[in-house]
Amino acid sequence: MNRYLLSGVATGSLALILSGCGGSDGLPQMSAAQPANFGGDCAALATSITGLTGTVITAASTVAGGTVVSNISMPEHCLVTGKMNERVSAVDGGTYYIGFQMRLPKNWNGRFFYQANGGTDGAVSNAVGALGGGPVTSALSKGFAVLSSDAGHQSQTTPFFGLDPQARIDYGYNAVGQLTPMAKNLIKKVYGKAPDRSYLGGCSNGGRHALVAATRYGDMYDGILAGSPGYNLPKAAVAQLWGVQQYATIATATKTTDTNAAGTAVTLTQPLADVSTAFTSTERSMIAAKIVGKCDALDGVTDNWVGDVAACQQTFNVNTDIPTCTSSRDGTCLTAAQKTVLTNVHNGAKNTAGTALYASFPYDTGISSSGWASWKFSNSTGVGRDPGATAFIFMTPPKTTDTANFLGLPFAMSFDFDVDAPKIFATSGLYTESAMSFMTPLATSQLSTLRSRGGKLLVYHGTSDPVFSFNDTVTWINKVKSDFADASSWSKLYPVPGMGHCSGGPAADQFDMIDPLVNWVEKGSSPSFVQAKARGTGTSTIAGLINSEVPASWLASRTRLLCEYPKVARYNGTGDIESSSSFTCQ
């Protein structure tokens, strides 16, 4: 049985062993990238770069070394912006294109990094390639040429681009397929050679992009880094709506207004449950404390840390380990109804026939975090997140075209899991690909292209992720292992205990997986673990790099090993409990 899952997942015996030579594991060993420099004028690139099919360079400039971008100091580099495949939609009349930004260091390490972004995309984030909670380094600062894009639409806060069929497909997978050859060609024009090695990485929807690329574009990339991958994103969005209806049954207050797509408060025709009152922050902290009390020592030491999350699923029991309220809710107990909802949500969304609509979630300490509450109570009811994405991007045909008056909470509360949920698998008229086709990776067997070339895949996921289930990622990696007998020689999953969605929570969430991936791809150095550090108060002077949810009982800079699944960092029996050197992956 998979110890992380609340119910076991059977694994097959099929082994797809493909030929290869050169590496110590029998797979091809890729050579290391070789550096090159650009000594020209960055501004001149705006006019000198030509011949990129369907592409317009809109601006180019020099960014001085030492400039801080996304809290990280950057080397001197060229900033190039542009757009691809501009068109006017015949469906909604809107203008669409694939917008992008590239940052090209003057001293280049010979590598390309595609920064896959999160949410519903729609905006070109700074192309720095920074991953891991509170990152202190980035692909750009390491010398990579980095690309970021909006994935083919220009609406970050609203999901209405989903009315356009091509925009859906660009968002799902086509933007990566279009941008990658263009970016490599642009790099060649700047440095006089194409990148020797190409990498793609992202978290959340960016992690989904990464797994999609691993199965669709394994011939284009040498190393892929997938963080908290929402590879079943349409299912996860439906599960969020299911959670709203669960929380509504125990909410203690109501809402009389909701916010429409324009950000305007609209009076509801009838009050609806304020789902944020289903579990107070005090109650969630109490639940987390009960989990710690029951599971802390399972990794060999009592240190206010649940390191063995898998064993905790077999040890912790909602009914017996959390007190049941005998009177009013005071933060020290849960009502029987709250316990039912807590159990239902962790067991996973279901329709009225009891059929699973999405994966289960492990009980973990990050339930106390603000991020957990935001995803469960706010993002699940907001126009720009799960209700809007489900209605306009994932359902076929779109649920409604009334974009001006669309409200998130009423949609979530009226969603029919028997009738509406199957529409994420549907096609209709102009919409020739379902959301579960254009949003998800191809079959795991399609990883054979990446594998056979000597490419590598690293995946990390917070065990307290409230929106993209860690258990779902375990199911995915187990399928990879059932398809490929040598899976661990080119693909690995690293659980991050306590971490929420991409970062935060009571966790050591600051880590660099870019160097381990590069060393694995180019040197054959397999990373059996990754070093991670907490970033509590006092560890940085930059507010954005501090995680206020690091427990006060920890050393603010506590270190831990992130171990390759299914291994766990276990205490050696002696040594400083604040240091990863006192633990071994077992």
Give the active site residues: 204, 465, 501
Distance of CA 353 to the CA centre of its chain: 30
**Rg of the chain, C-alpha, whole Å:** 24
DSSP state string for 245-294 = HHHHTT-S-EEEEEEBTTS-EEEEEEEEE-GGGSS-HHHHHHHHHHHHHH
Q: Does residue 198 contact residue 221 with C-beta atoms inside 8 Å?
A: yes
Helices (H), 296-407: 309-315, 318-321, 336-347, 370-373, 386-388
- In angstroms, the CA 370 to CA 214 distance is 32
The position carrying tokens 């126009």 is 383
**Three-state SS at 108:** strand
CA distance 447 to 488: 13
Helix (H) or strand (E) holding 461: strand 456-462
Cis peptide upstream of residue 410 (ω within 30 degrees of 0)? no
The residues, any chain, with a CB within 8 Å of residue 89's CB and separated by 6 or more, are 95, 96, 164, 166, 167
Q: Bridge-partner residues for 95, per DSSP?
A: 88
Of 431, 439, 435, the C-alpha closest to 166 is: 431
What pairing do the DSSP bridges indicate for beta strands 265-273 and 529-533?
unpaired
